[in-house]
Amino acid sequence: MKGNLHQELRQIVTQLKGHLRYQKELGIKTLLSQQEAKNHLTLNEIRREMGDCERCRLHEGRNHLVFGEGNPHALLVFVGEAPGRNEDLQGKPFIGRAGELLTRIIEAIDLTREEVYITNILKCRPPNNRNPKPDEIKICLPFLLKQLEAIRPRVICALGTFAAQTLLGTENKISALRGRFHDYQGAKLMPTYHPAFLLRNPHFKKAVWDDMKMIREEYKKP
Residues at the site binding ligand URA, with contacts judged by CB under 6 A: 80-84, 87, 93-94, 98-99, 120, 196
| Residue nearest ligand URA by beta-carbon distance | 80
Dist. CA 106–CA 115, nearest whole Å: 9
CB of 8 to ligand URA, least distance (A): 53
Dist. CA 185–CA 194, nearest whole Å: 22
CB of 179 to ligand URA, least distance (A): 20
Sign of CA dihedral 173, 201, 148, 132: positive
CB of 122 to ligand URA, least distance (A): 8
CB of 83 to ligand URA, least distance (A): 5
**Cβ closest to ligand URA, residue 12 vs residue 199:** 199
**Cβ closest to ligand URA, residue 87 vs residue 211:** 87
Query: Which positions ≥6 away from 137 have C-beta within 8 Å?
Result: 121, 122, 162, 166
Dist. CA 134–CA 130, nearest whole Å: 12
190 within 8 A of 178, measured Cβ to Cβ = yes
**Cβ closest to ligand URA, residue 98 vs residue 167:** 98
